[in-house]
Structure 1
Amino acid sequence: MTNPNSAENLDGRKWSESNWEEDYLNTKQRLSQFQIKLLKEGPSSFSGSLYLGVIKRQWLKMRGLYTPEPEPPNCQSSFSEWNNNAKQLEQNNE
């Protein structure tokens, strides 16, 4: 069974999610100097780390590995629902 987080580039070199920065640098996509510095040296600020996360998401989409997070369940209720449940429990206890 093959690891879904690793494969081969078109030029035959191996890549995996552990060296995604190098793989992203070798794409044909045009990168700005800031993006290149960020991928080579890492982030130096909070906003840089957020932007690096955006770049990684682009890489995951490019490789077909991106899976969006599922919607959180709706756990919202109103006071009237709670009050009705409390009344029912009270009636059941009597």
Structure 2
Amino acid sequence: ANLKRRLRELTAAGESEREETKKLQEEVAKMRGRNASLEEELANLKNFIQTAVPGAAPVRVSRQELRPLTAQDVAELRASRQLPRSAQGMRSAPDEKESRPG
């Protein structure tokens, strides 16, 4: 009787482990499929950037070189971009209104 009970317990444990293994294998298969699609999307994006954006080059920045941007940094970046005159005029007009005392 003890052996039969022990056999049933082990059989039940084996079944539950098989089911768990099957679920995990299905999850791994889904993750691999998603990973493959993400890798393909990344490759497409890299290809697009390299071909569509003239002068684009990979940039490597260490974590130590990263720092938060200050308002002055943002202003310098905006100034360094050479915007068309019409876009610069449109952007500077609201700034002038805000800076006037009134």
Give the TM-score, by structure 1 length.
0.25
Give the TM-score, by structure 2 length.
0.24
The structure that is helix-richer by fraction is: 2
Structure number with the bigger relative contact order (C-alpha 8 A, sep ≥ 6) is 1
The structure that is strand-richer by fraction is: 1
Larger radius of gyration: 2
